[in-house]
Chains A and B, each alone.
Chain A
Amino acid sequence: MRLSLLLAALCLTRAASLGAQAPADSAPAPPSAADLAAGERVFETQCVRCHGAQGTGGVGPTLTHAKLRRAATDEALVQVIQNGLPGTAMVGFWNLSEDEARQVAAYVRALGRRPPEVIPGDATRGRVLYEEPGRCGACHILDGQGAGWAPDLSEVGLRLSAVGLRQSLLTPGAAQPVSALPSVHGPYPAFLAVVAITRAGRVIRGTRVTEDDFVIVLREADGRLRSLDKSALRRLQKNPGQSPMPSYAATFSSGELDDLIAYLASRRGEP
């Protein structure tokens, strides 16, 4: 048990201090150690599944930034926690009390004040690797350049830590990005590999673009969309854990991987 958790346990009987002492019209008091400990406790139970331990990222973005793009102020961060972000997999955590939402927001802010991750590679050399013809840009868009089959990487440095980037490059099937669509019950893997066999016996392989009870839309390897009625299918095989992206474990040397990761980590939506 980490000290902070122990602190949280010791604070169980203490009334939460943040919201209770800070009326909306006055400047809120800075978070106490107890608030941060309580916030960490909530974070570890409610947030790590998507945002990773200590906010280092997972299917959800990393939170270890001084500035959070969609939550510029503390108040905005509380709003995001309470109400979610429409169109994303971030749901509103209505079950948190206002104090708990403020405490977990304070903890997330504290994550952003930690020293930045040390990334050993050279971003300039990584960019050269990235831009090799037929390489990453054949599938990904970055700063408007490339092809849109795969996730836009213009802000990938905000979404994934260096650890997450490395995992994506080495074992992409285990590091699937998620999509909030097609339903409120996300997160769903954004690139689920599917094999559909029509009643006529035709085999269609692709990744799932969207699905409901009657329809599934697949994108084939050549980029073509296939909108299929499930009633016209003999078999629908879903293969979670597979990714259309190959592993680059054997493609790049260890040093090259560091360079590529350094370049991707620097992509934060600022040219």
Chain B
Amino acid sequence: MRLLAFGCIAIAIGGTDPLSGQVSEARLRDARREPANWLTYSGDLGGQRYSPLAQITAANVAALRPAWIYQASEAGMLQTSPVVVDGVMYLTEFRGHVVALDARTGRMIWRYQLTLPPKVLTLGFGPTNRGVAVLDSTVYVGTPDAHLIALDARSGALRWNVPVADNALGYSITAAPLAVGDLILVGISGAEAGIRGFLDAYDARTGEQRWRFYTIPDVGEPGVESWGGESYKTGGGSTWVTGSYDPALGLVYWGVGNPGPDWNGDSRPGDNLYTCSLVALDAKTGTLRWHFQFTPHDTHDWDATEIPVLLDGGIGGRVRQLVTMANRNGFYYVLDRATGEFLSGTPYIEQGWADGLDPSGRPIMRPNIEPTAQGTVLTPNLHGGTNWYSPSYSPRAGLFYVAARQMGSTYFKYDASYTPGRYFMGGGESEFGGDSAQGAVKALNPLTGAVRWSFPLHSPPWTGLLSTGGGLVFGGTNEGVFFALSAVTGSPLWHFQMGAQLNANPIAFAVDGRQYVAMAAGGTLQVFALAVP
């Protein structure tokens, strides 16, 4: 078995561009060539969240210290994953306010305060925001009231502001947009309110909509037969976590969330396409090329809105272009990213709902797993084996890392009737918390899902992972600890109490030859570096 790095080129810290601050499409495609920068939500278009930076290593990480701390102007937990371009860091605060900081010192360069209406619907998630996209000299952010906004990267001045969808119906944006070619792609939240989900593409220069892919087919389109009656109209299928992009294939990969109503599937008999699926879309037109549904007819809120990670590897004697996903339903999937062919799926947690997958990748569901009025006990709970926070793939270590959640729950089913702009869920759960629930950072063989090592966590985590060229994996805990593990063995090598729950993704960058690691906790962004001698 052989592993190939996806676009991995090992180079030293550096990467000063002659057009400093101008993020061309070419720079985004070759983000790995300039590891000093963190140019997209996941650090590269393939969703790997891997930094080739190698100044901080297993041998010296014990000397990692805070370099600077940014405190958000407004209260609220930061879930942001910053973008760093040529010494400038762009991050989002709670509610989607955007800040540009001097990445070396944390000094503020500008701050864009969103103007929001007095009442904004954020049904099921709160007015959180997970970051920006940068293309050329423009910064893009989605807003809680479902607008897409473009800001001048140097000044923070508004370039344009377009409505994406009607917030009064529950549509909202929490995900970081993704720059694809000359388009800005943005996903939508709101599947707890009976929306009809979509993925949108806008002209980066003008804000004009270029295409929309509805994640729930309309009458006359293939897939609508997987819904009963008119249930497709309120079918959910949000796209609330940033996807990935393969420029060579011209395909965008995006995860689709749960069907609506969440826990009561009576009104929507069938598989409910394309909910709980990965869709591969033509990047230029938004046309569906293929789809793979992880959880047909989901009734446990197991969104497939995890990061699609693109990597190449040898399977069955030949090199395959792969897209992999550690899915919320507890299985790790390996698919051919050109065709969508299912190659393997393996549980990475102890789960209780499926006796494995059939040769096509469809789950062999156990009986009596549906939520009921009396309650149905099942693992995982609605938050799944993992969630929106990012996994990481290290081409150097050849391992896929996932922050796994091991937690059960009692699922309940209630009635559901649709009222525009209201919750439309039909149930709930009572999770098994406290000492009965745990988490773990797990290192998987990326081609098979076999667990190589596992580092246990006190409680099911809400923090993503970063792997680095220094042989480290960074992660965090609900109890406020930011830590570094050996990427090879999982041994803990460093930890720091940040003073609030971690609920975001780490990144790495460099300025003036010094490597930094950044992580949000509570209302702060904290940046670490080796102590200067």
Q: Is the interface of B mostly helix, strand, loop or mixed?
A: loop
Check A185–B423 contact: CB distance below 8 A.
no
Check B434–A184 contact: CB distance below 8 A.
no
Return the CB mask of B355-377 against A: 1 if under 8 Å, else 0.
00000000000000000010100
Complex Cα–Cα for A12 and B427 (A): 13
Knowing A16-B417, A20-B419 are in contact, say whether A95-B429 is a contact too (CB < 8 A). yes
Check A183–B459 contact: CB distance below 8 A.
yes
* CB under 8 Å from chain A, chain B span 458-480: 458-460, 462, 477-480
Contact among A46, A94, A186, A238 for B433, CB-based, below 8 A: A186
Check A211–B479 contact: CB distance below 8 A.
yes
Check A183–B430 contact: CB distance below 8 A.
no
Contact among B375, B428, B460, B477 for A96, CB-based, below 8 A: B428
Knowing A94-B124, A185-B437, A238-B435 are in contact, say whether A12-B429 is a contact too (CB < 8 A). no
Q: Which residue of A lies closest to B481 (CB)?
A: A212
Complex Cα–Cα for A182 and B415 (A): 35
Complex Cα–Cα for A96 and B426 (A): 9
Contact among B407, B410, B419, B458 for A212, CB-based, below 8 A: B458
**Which chain B residues border A178 with CB–CB below 8 Å?**
434
Output the residue of B435, B477, B481 with the most chain A CB within 10 A: B435
Select the stretch in A105-113, A145-153, A187-195 that faces chain B.
Answer: A187-195
Residue A49, interface by CB 8 Å: yes
Return the CB mask of A70-104 against B: 1 if under 8 Å, else 0.
00000000000000000000000111111110000
**Which chain A residues border B424 with CB–CB below 8 Å?**
97
Check A214–B481 contact: CB distance below 8 A.
yes
Return the CB mask of A205-235 against B: 1 if under 8 Å, else 0.
0000001111100000000000000010000
Check A212–B480 contact: CB distance below 8 A.
yes
Q: Which residue of B lies closest to A19 (CB)?
A: B422
**Which chain A residues border B460 with CB–CB below 8 Å?**
185
Complex Cα–Cα for A182 and B500 (A): 10
Complex Cα–Cα for A187 and B42 (A): 33
Number of residues from A at the complex interface, CB < 8 A: 36
Check A214–B483 contact: CB distance below 8 A.
yes
* CB under 8 Å from chain B, chain A span 1-46: 12-13, 15-16, 20, 41-42, 45-46
Residue A240, interface by CB 8 Å: yes
Check A213–B435 contact: CB distance below 8 A.
no
Tally A-B pairs: CB < 8 A. 94
Contact among B483, B495, B501 for A183, CB-based, below 8 A: B501
Residue B38, interface by CB 8 Å: no
Complex Cα–Cα for A182 and B477 (A): 11
Number of residues from B at the complex interface, CB < 8 A: 40
B287 → chain A closest CB, angstroms: 35
**Which chain A residues border B414 with CB–CB below 8 Å?**
41-42, 100
Knowing A185-B460, A189-B435, A214-B492 are in contact, say whether A95-B478 is a contact too (CB < 8 A). no
Check A95–B479 contact: CB distance below 8 A.
no
**Which chain B residues border A231 with CB–CB below 8 Å?**
492
* CB under 8 Å from chain B, chain A span 37-75: 41-42, 45-46, 49
Residue B457, interface by CB 8 Å: yes
Return the CB mask of B414-454 against A: 1 if under 8 Å, else 0.
11010100111101111001110100000000000000000
Residue B393, interface by CB 8 Å: no
**Which chain A residues border B459 with CB–CB below 8 Å?**
183-185
Check B435–A188 contact: CB distance below 8 A.
yes
Check A95–B435 contact: CB distance below 8 A.
no
Contact among B373, B415, B422, B483 for A98, CB-based, below 8 A: B422
Check A240–B427 contact: CB distance below 8 A.
no
Q: Which residue of B lies closest to A181 (CB)?
A: B479
Check B458–A184 contact: CB distance below 8 A.
no
B91 → chain A closest CB, angstroms: 23
A225 → chain B closest CB, angstroms: 16
A20 → chain B closest CB, angstroms: 7
**Which chain A residues border B509 with CB–CB below 8 Å?**
none
**Which chain A residues border B423 with CB–CB below 8 Å?**
95-98
Contact among A96, A99, A188, A213 for B434, CB-based, below 8 A: A188
Check A185–B478 contact: CB distance below 8 A.
yes
**Which chain A residues border B302 with CB–CB below 8 Å?**
none
Q: Which residue of B lies closest to A94 (CB)?
A: B124
Contact among A46, A187, A189, A215 for B428, CB-based, below 8 A: A46
Q: Which residue of A lies closest to B382 (CB)?
A: A95
Knowing A42-B414, A93-B428 are in contact, say whether A185-B434 is a contact too (CB < 8 A). yes
**Which chain A residues border B407 with CB–CB below 8 Å?**
185
Complex Cα–Cα for A131 and B297 (A): 61
Contact among B262, B375, B479, B495 for A45, CB-based, below 8 A: B375
Residue B254, interface by CB 8 Å: no
Check B477–A185 contact: CB distance below 8 A.
no
A216 → chain B closest CB, angstroms: 10
**Which chain B residues border A46 with CB–CB below 8 Å?**
412, 428, 430
Q: Which residue of A lies closest to B411 (CB)?
A: A45
**Which chain B residues border A41 with CB–CB below 8 Å?**
373, 414
Check A213–B481 contact: CB distance below 8 A.
yes
A214 → chain B closest CB, angstroms: 5
Knowing A20-B419, A46-B412, A95-B425 are in contact, say whether A183-B375 is a contact too (CB < 8 A). no
Check A213–B433 contact: CB distance below 8 A.
no
Q: Which residue of A lies closest to B371 (CB)?
A: A45
Contact among A93, A99, A183, A214 for B478, CB-based, below 8 A: A183
**Which chain B residues border A214 with CB–CB below 8 Å?**
481, 483, 492, 495
Check A240–B435 contact: CB distance below 8 A.
yes
Complex Cα–Cα for A98 and B435 (A): 31
Output the residue of A15, A46, A213, A214 with the most chain B CB within 10 A: A213
Complex Cα–Cα for A96 and B477 (A): 27
A194 → chain B closest CB, angstroms: 11
B429 → chain A closest CB, angstroms: 7
Q: Which residue of A lies closest to B478 (CB)?
A: A183
Q: Which residue of B lies closest to A11 (CB)?
A: B415
Output the residue of A45, A178, A186 with the most chain B CB within 10 A: A45
Q: A41-B414, A97-B425, A212-B480 are in contact. List 17 more A-B contacts (CB 8 A).
A: A13-B415, A45-B412, A45-B428, A95-B429, A96-B428, A97-B422, A183-B478, A184-B459, A184-B478, A185-B434, A186-B433, A187-B433, A188-B433, A212-B481, A213-B456, A213-B495, A238-B435
- 10 closest Cβ pairs, A-B complex: A212-B479, A95-B428, A97-B423, A183-B478, A185-B459, A45-B412, A183-B459, A185-B433, A188-B434, A213-B458
List 22 A-B pairs, Cβ < 8 Å.
Answer: A45-B428, A93-B428, A95-B192, A95-B262, A95-B427, A95-B428, A95-B429, A96-B423, A97-B423, A98-B422, A178-B434, A184-B478, A185-B437, A188-B435, A212-B480, A213-B477, A213-B479, A213-B483, A213-B492, A213-B495, A214-B492, A238-B435
- What is the interface of chain B, defined by CB distance below 8 A to chain A? 124, 192, 262, 373, 375, 407, 410, 412, 414-415, 417, 419, 422-425, 427-430, 433-435, 437, 456-460, 462, 477-481, 483, 492, 495, 497, 501
